[in-house]
Amino acid sequence: MSCRVVAGTSSIEWTSSTWNPVTGCSKTSPGCKNCYAERMAHRLMLMGQDNYRNGFEVTCHSHMLERPLTWKKSQMIFTNSMSDLFHRNVPTDFILDVFDVMNRAGQHYFQVLTKRSGRLLQLDSKLPWTKNIWMGVSVETENYVNRIDDLRKTSAAIRFLSIEPLLGPIPNLDLRGIDWVIVGGESGPRARPMSEEWVIEIRDQCVDAGVPFFFKQWGGVNKKKAGRVLEKKVWSQMPLGYSVA
């Protein structure tokens, strides 16, 4: 087990900080094909970062679990931006340890995101959900909307969708019990294209359902240049009463 973890400010538009008690993952669906975290992990390994001496193998970092407790200022914290907390190689006891820290760090809001919604639902009754823990699932095409059904059955106070990278139309989103939707295109050298029509269709479904909509990026090779304006507007909606500092 490694004993180091990356934590700090984030350039991700919908959060303010990242905390990685687990690093590393494995591909599970088409959205994983050009994983940014995998590219970054291998780069950090080549740079000699001890945190990533195992490359992109799933690695738990136990002695850094309590890092958020040292951050006094309230923050939005993306938990495991470099992994998936519900990966099969993360022990259940370690997942419970992560939740214990999130429970105790009540000054923060934690955003947890997974593609392994089956394991999330399986463990739901064991997880100590507090109001500061937001739970989300990634959905890249309509073939994976079953993850939304699993999320809806959990006891999380805030449930959200990360539809990124959006790889196809999702015309019939069931947004019952969903509090927030993020949409974004793929970025990087091998970025797959995203149609504006797909984004507008999802935006309109969110508007009709009264669900906050956050458009993260168009993506592409130069995501900064492509920007995040949709129909002459920047969509940065968040669940009622929340904002990213």
CATH of 7-20+70-234, one of 1.25.40, 1.10.10, 3.80.30, 1.10.150: 3.80.30
pLDDT reported for residue 1: 29
pLDDT reported for residue 245: 62
pLDDT reported for residue 76: 95
Those residues of the chain that have pLDDT short of 50 are 1-7
Distance CA 142, CA 132 (A): 29
**Interval 199-224: pLDDT, tens:** 999 999 999 999 999 999 999 999 99
What's the mean per-residue pLDDT of the chain? 94
Tokens of 91: 């022990």
CA atoms within 13 A on the CB side of 199: 25
pLDDT reported for residue 178: 98
Long-range contacts of 222-229 (CB under 8 A, 24+ apart): 223/185, 223/187, 226/185, 228/13
pLDDT reported for residue 6: 39
